[in-house]
Each structure stands twice: as C-alpha cells, then as structure tokens.
Structure 1
Amino acid sequence: MASDVERFGEMPDGPTVHRVTLQKGAMRAQVLTLGAIVQDLRLEGASHPLVLGAGTLAPYLGPMHYFGATVGRYANRIANGAFTLNGQTHRLSCNFRGRHCLHGGELGCAEQLWTLADATAETATLTLTLPDGDMGFPGRLSIVLTIALSDAAISFDHSATTDRDTVCSLSHHGYFVLDDSGSLAEHGLRIAAEHYLPVDDDLIPTGRSAPVAGTGFDFQTPRPLQDVALDHNFCLSDAPAVLRPVAWLRSDRSGLQMQVATTEPGLQVYTASHLPQAGAIGHDGRALRRHAGIALEAQHWPDAPNRPDFPSATLLAAQTYRHTTRYSFDRTNQTEPPQ
C-alpha cells in the first residue's frame, strides 16, 4: 500500500481517524477514513482550496459532519422516515426535523469509520459494511468506494451489494468553491436539466417533476449564483446512464471552472444556506458564511422509495449498485458547455 497515511484525530469513543494524501499531476487531495471525507482538495496554481473543509476533526463531528463526506445508504430525504418494499414497511431513523430520514439516518455513511482497504499515490479505496436493519434499512449492504485523482480531476467510483432487497443511493457531499472570496457571489452555474423537483416546506418533493423553463430554476444557460438559495434536485434522466457531463461551475474572479460528470439520474444542488453556524470554521481559520460553497450531489431522486413514478432506487439482492461521478477542473474552455 504505497501512500501517505497519517493520524488525523480520535473519535470520542477512541478509534483513530486516519488521513490519506493523494497526488496526481496538478491535483492533490486529502481523504479521511471518517465518512470517506475529502478534507482538502487543491489544484496547482490555485492558492485556495477547492472545497470547504476543516483542519481538525472536531468540526466534522458537529456542524460540518456532511462536509466532503459520502452520504447514504440513501442520500437525501425519505419522507416520513418510511418506505414499503416487497410488501413490507420499513421504519427509518428520522434525523431531519424529527420526521424524515436524511442521508441514511442519524448514523449514516457520513458518520461511520470506513476501512482504508487499499491506497496508491493517486487512489484510495475505502470499504464500509452496514448490517441488516441498520437505521431501519433492510439488507446487509457492502460498499466499496474508490477515490482517484487524474491530472486535473477527482472521481468517485461506488459499488455496493446487498444480501436482501433494499434501496441504495450514495453521493459525494463536497462543498465546492472556485475562488478565495469565501462565497459564491462571483460564480456562475449551468445544469443540463430541463426539469426539477418542487418541494414542500420540509424539502420533500411535492409530486411530479416540473419544467425549469420560465422559473428561477432554469440553469440551462449559465446564471450567476449571487444570493441564490438552492436545495433542490435537478432531473438529469429517467434512469442511471453512461458517464456524461451534467453541470458546469465557473468563478469569474479566478477564471477557474469545474465540470461535473455522472452516471446518476439526479443532481441535488445546495448552496449552503444553513451557514453561518457556530463551529463551522474553514481551512483559513475564518467562520464559513452563508453561501460559502456549493454541493453538487449526484444521486437518485429524493424520496424515490415512496414514488413509483421516480427512477427506481431499489437494489435487488442479485444486483450490484454502481455509480461514478467525476469533478474536473481547468482554466480553459475545455469544460465549458455549448451555448
């Protein structure tokens, strides 16, 4: 196992959290065994980190516990903390407003210590097994995640198997920022989606997808993000697909841009409206302020286990869940979408 692995901190009950450093070309990443968190991400020539993160463990155990993590076993929200599969209703951990399940429940993938199964100079493979009934979900779920760097990209290759029919949707929950301003004010975003999911006051989808045209959710051409509050799923396809570009983020301040490519049918876009929050301190030691970064979470649609008209998130015992998402960076027009 050729890699740079070090102690990052200790969990309250004693186990050690390790950090592995990856390097490939112009990219450098630091990954924690807690939550498979991308704690830091750097691009040669950029003086600032590309993701929001903390220099110590404590914030990840509190106000920053989803920052940079892999969330699941079901990313996003499941309404009323329950779903029915094969005629059986499963009651889940309700960790969102006391009545809905968010990111797999109170102790989902983001809160777990993963095993660093293998690492090279440029890749880290982490594994996690969730027992049958964990957080109320059926099936013993065995997850393998490989985080890999290329010369100007970071990719996440997920796979999972179960011994019992279940639901599965894993997602990287990094908050990206492409300049040193501490906000998204000078960023622009484009999303290749004609539809999105309207939500209620609990951020649960209200029904069928709706066209983005003529609404504040139309990012089919690049739009500025200053003072934009989003926490919505954009509908990319009706089922998982081949790896393809789906979103583009650019900072006018730095000239840096990022392309998101994924195999998943949905993209949850969240502009960190919950910030500022006590204890959420960034790499530079400053408190993170409102809209300090943007999460672009490739995943299944929220509440799909309760919505037969949404793309299915059911994982059968005979199947293997597979999901790839890649974030690519440059300062040229190579990742710009056609206008």
Structure 2
Amino acid sequence: MNRATILATALAATVVASPALAADAKRSTFGKMPDGRPVAAVTLTNGRGVSATVIALGASLQALWMPDKAGKREDVQIGYDTLDGYLAKPEFFGATVGRVANRIAKGRFTFDGRTYTTPVNNGPNSLHGGTKGFDKVLWEVTDVKSGPVASVTLRYVSPDGDMGYPGTLTTYATYSLDEQNQLKIEYRATTDRPTVVNISNHAYWNLAGVGSPRGAMGHVVTIPADRYTPTDDTSIPLGRNVSVAGTVFDFRKPTTIGNRVRDGRDPQIVYGRGYDHNWVIGDAVTPTEHLMARVVEPVSGRGYELWSNQPGLQFYSGNFFDGTVVGKKGHIYRMGDAIVMEPQLFPDAPNQPRFPSVRLDPGQTYRNTMTYKLFTQR
C-alpha cells in the first residue's frame, strides 16, 4: 500500500462534521512549581469534538480528547491529572524532549574536535537530553491565539553548557489545532554557537482511551519504511540500517502491534522488551511533510496519520511500564498501555557519521514539524 492509498483510505473513513466558525484557545493554571512559579495550561478546542491541553512544564501535551465512532469523547493521552505527578515521577508524558532526543552512547560525543559529556540517565547512556532535559523545565508561554486555527507557542532558552551541550539554544514549540482535526506540533531552534539539536515530542497514545482495558497492543499500525535501525542491548544503534523484509519490523502493511511485539525469536525485540527502534522513512530532513505512520484502534474507530519533515521515526511500544505509575483517574499504567511515535533524526546521531547530521550552526534554524491528522472510522 503506497502513501497515497493510505491517505485516501483515511480520508474516506473520516467522520465528516460541520465545522465551527473558529477554534478556541483558553489559558488557565495547571499548578505551581515548588519555587512558586505558576505552570500555565492552554486548551485548544475545535467544533468537531477535539480538544488538546498543553502545559508549560516540558511544553507537554497533557491531554487530547477525541470522539469515537459513536461520538463518545475520551482522552487518548496517558499522563497525570495534576502537576504533582509530573514532578514526582516524570515519564516524558507528552513532553518536548531535547536538546537531543533519544539516546547518546555513554553520554559522550565529539563535536568539532572537542569531547562533550551529558549526564547518563538510561543505563550507561544519556536519554532525551540528560537528567534535566527539556521535559523537566518550565517553558514560557509567548502567544495564545483563537481563530480558524487555535494555537499556543512556548519558548525555552537553554544556556551554553546546559546538560553539557555547547551554545545558547533558543527553542520555540507551537501547538495548533484546526477545524480539519489536524493537531500540529512545530519546533524551531537557533543557536549562538555550533551545537547539536534533535527535538521531538513524546506523546503516549492509547486511542481506546485512558484506562481502557484494551491497552494499545490492539492498535493497527502502518509505517511506510523499508529499513530500520538495529541496536545493541542498550538500545544504541549498530551504525547501519537493515531491511524490514521478513522481520517483525515490517509494518508496510497494516499490522496489529500485539501480533509480534513479544516475538522472542528476534534478539532486537528481546533487547528492547518490544519495539523501541528507529524506522528509516528517508535520508534527510525534507522541506515539506511526508507520511510517517498510520495508527487505528479498531474498536473505537479512532485513528491518526502522522506526517513530518523528519527522516526517522522512533516507535516505542510502552515496554517499561511496570505497574508502579499511577496516572489519570487512578489508573495504573502497565506494559503496552500506550505507544509513542517520535519523528526525529536518528538515535546517537552525534556519534554516527553515516546518519543524518544533528549539527546546527549560528544563522541556521532547526525545524521539526509533525502533524497528527485525526480521524474516526466506522
């Protein structure tokens, strides 16, 4: 199934509703940081039953409500109901992750002849920017708009040396929602010194609804990639991309996640306790967005297509939830309760010269855009 066919199928299955005149953006307070600073929240709502709440801690997608095929709305983002959870046990729920998303081997890389280190927080490696990445800082809300497209823009200035990274990096995160049920996330960043950047969003999706006993392993996934990136037993890439043909990583046709996620015959599945790998959609960042994945929960009919300008897609099947995280409405999150689809550059790219570069120089603008085209099929 090619990309055009997938798109046509999704559009044909979309429930058509009469749009409202304008989408709305409302600001509120989600709580206070330990030092007393208020944490802003902005809820974007359209006329078709979709609403998204973004909080300033981690520039995070805290909730996303969408209707099923019977019109029943559910929150499809797992996370916490209150700020206390995000402070006590952060799990990257819906968060902006960076400066460098994904893993850096041993928290060390060489850049322009100098070795840099960033704190390790995932076994021997650094994950999502280190011990205090972009997900754990309070962003500033700089703009809130209602209109044909409702949006919120947040900013964070990461100082030179933050988590060991060179250069002062100024990053903007914009979330927008329109009347076509498109939720868009755009990241832009500039620097005053050469540095490395790879920013993404870590939304945890359960299209059956938060707390549903169905979890996410019944989701049907399509990924238009003929290669993926194998890793060692600490999830660091081996430096090559291999064909998905004949493997459990072949999602070129719609495939139920649970059918193969526990296939212990593949050592890659054993290493990650499921899927936690990079799919190669392209070889470079592109000027426009292209299809990254299509996800459907068959019982509710909820689904989305994910489009982005990035070459890589990190697909994580929620393998490390062990029943110790109590989330929204008191639900205990278990292995496989949600999935993550992160458009980005490739993991450990600062140490992998064959991978697309994560370098950003002064005068350039880093840009990662991702659009979730939400739909409900009957």
Contact 2:25 2:45 in 1 (8 A): no
Quote the Cα distance in structure 2 between the aligned partners of 1:273 and 1:63.
Answer: 17
The aligned amino acid for 2:337 is A
Aligned counterparts, 1:159-170, within 5 A: 159-170=188-199
Post-superposition shift, 1:244? 1.1
The aligned amino acid for 1:4 is K
The aligned amino acid for 2:297 is S
> Secondary structure at the residue paired with 1:189?
strand
- The corresponding residue for 2:322 is 276
Post-superposition shift, 1:185? 3.1
CA deviation string 1:268-316 (max 9, x = no partner): 011111113423313x321112111110001110001111100111111
- The corresponding residue for 1:308 is 353
Post-superposition shift, 1:193? 0.8
Task: Report the structure, 1 or 2, having the larger helix content.
Answer: 2
User: Is it true that 1:15 corresponds to 2:37 in the alignment?
Assistant: yes
> Secondary structure at the residue paired with 1:80?
helix
TM-score by length of 2: 0.84
Quote the Cα distance in structure 1 between the aligned partners of 2:25 and 2:219.
Answer: 34
CA deviation string 1:73-128 (max 9, x = no partner): 1000011111111111111121221x311101111100010000010231000000
> Secondary structure at the residue paired with 2:332?
coil
> Secondary structure at the residue paired with 1:52?
coil
Quote the Cα distance in structure 2 between the aligned partners of 1:218 and 1:230.
Answer: 12
Aligned counterparts, 1:98-177, within 5 A: 99-121=124-146, 122-151=150-179, 152-177=181-206
Which range moved further: 111-120 or 20-29?
20-29
Post-superposition shift, 1:3? 4.0
User: Is it true that 1:259 corresponds to 2:305 in the alignment?
Assistant: yes
Contact 1:25 1:150 in 2 (8 A): no
Distance 1:235 1:280, change over 3 A: farther
Q: 1:246 aligns with which of 271, 289, 292?
A: 292
Aligned counterparts, 1:198-237, within 5 A: 198-226=230-258, 228=261, 229-237=274-282
Which range moved further: 127-136 or 285-294?
285-294
Contact 1:65 1:110 in 2 (8 A): no
Post-superposition shift, 1:236? 0.9
Contact 2:78 2:327 in 1 (8 A): no
Q: 1:78 aligns with which of 90, 104, 113?
A: 104
> Which blocks of at least 5 consecutive residues in structure 1 are unaligned?
334-339
The aligned amino acid for 1:125 is T
Query: How big is the alpha-carbon RMSD for the aligned residues of Structure 1 and Structure 2?
Result: 1.5
> Which blocks of at least 5 consecutive residues in structure 2 are unaligned?
1-23, 262-273
TM-score by length of 1: 0.94
Post-superposition shift, 1:187? 1.1
Quote the Cα distance in structure 2 between the aligned partners of 1:234 and 1:42.
Answer: 28
Identical-residue share of aligned pairs (%)? 39
The aligned amino acid for 1:315 is L
Contact 1:59 1:279 in 2 (8 A): no
| Alignment: residue pair count | 330
